Amino acid sequence: MGPGSMRANRPRDLVQDPAVKLFLGIDGGQSGTTALVGDESGRVVGVAHGGPCNHVSGAPGREKFTRVIGDVVRQALDSLGPVHFEAACCGFSGGPADKDVLTREIVRAEKYSITHDGLIALVGATSGAPGVIVIAGTGSFAFGRNSEGRTARAGGWGFIFGDEGGGFDLVRQALRAALRFEEGWGTATALRDALLAATGAPDANEALHRFYTDEYPRDRVALLAKVVDEVAQARDGVARDLLNGAAQSLATIASAVRQQLFSAEEPARVSYIGGVFRSRALLARFRLLIELNEHNRVAAPLHSPAAGALLEAYRIAGIKCEISGDPEQLR
């Protein structure tokens, strides 16, 4: 689905009844936006997907943000028309600071939680239970919340000063290894030829210069993390070490968050999300490192960040429920 596309599953049996209380969860990120609408029982009655909404700087950014959020809410509601929600939770990559006011102008609700993507990813992953989540896509960071509602985070300092273990960082290190090999002062590695094939560059130096251009924004560079994984699967020692190092970095920030929120012997669930974890080798190493502490358990996310946003909307409204609906809507 392209960045500007829209897809919706429409409510089939919901009527425009003032007595029906509705709740809204939105996951707004760099790759797309998802809205889920639920009724008071926790049943998902509407879902829609749209383009990215993570930037609001300048008039064009604000216009795009307003259009995308307005469209996904309207599509999720289908023919119901404007709705005043009981509660709405919207989680945005890059944080809520520059999106709070705009969101409240677009979405009408009794209660709001305008927050960051880490919170809704955690709530979705654990279905609202305490725990820690590590997000490793283009960048990386870890976020957690304990049973007392206290939160903590680690990492996420951006591609210059941090984001260790994220896709961009992994590819950057792979290219550095390829450059060292090409210049004769690094270990031989198949990463060089693999990156050249993926980019169409004649040599590693040219690949480097391409990565500095608008042709290769950071998210496109990060997608080449799968190349590193493929080379590692072919038993390349340099690529394998890079994956192990990324897993170590991600386990380290997860452990830093755990230490802030949970006692040493308290059970803690650690979940994960993001394209980097598609590497089975990296995930296996991450799991091994986290579960060196016998009180930790690594588990795949139960629900999507959008479902987490909807669960958080119920929470701020004082409603405890499990969400239900098409499993594809909730993952």
Mean pLDDT calculated for residue range 87-94: 88
> The pTM is what?
0.85
Identify the weakest region by mean pLDDT among 98-112, 210-224, 232-246, 267-281: 98-112
Asked whether 203 and 182 are in contact (CB, 8 A), the reply is yes
Asked whether 136 and 165 are in contact (CB, 8 A), the reply is yes
pLDDT of residue 10: 47
Mean pLDDT calculated for residue range 49-68: 77
**Is 67 in a helix, a strand, or coil?**
helix
pLDDT of residue 330: 65
Identify the weakest region by mean pLDDT among 17-31, 192-206, 281-295, 299-313: 17-31
Q: Which two tokens stand for residue 105?
A: 């102008």
Residue 1 has pLDDT above 50, yes or no: no
Domains of the chain, CATH where assigned: 7-127+303-330 (3.30.420.40), 128-301 (3.30.420.40)
Residue type present at position 305 = P
Residue 29 has pLDDT above 60, yes or no: yes
The residue assigned the tokens 């290769």 is 216
pLDDT of residue 328: 67
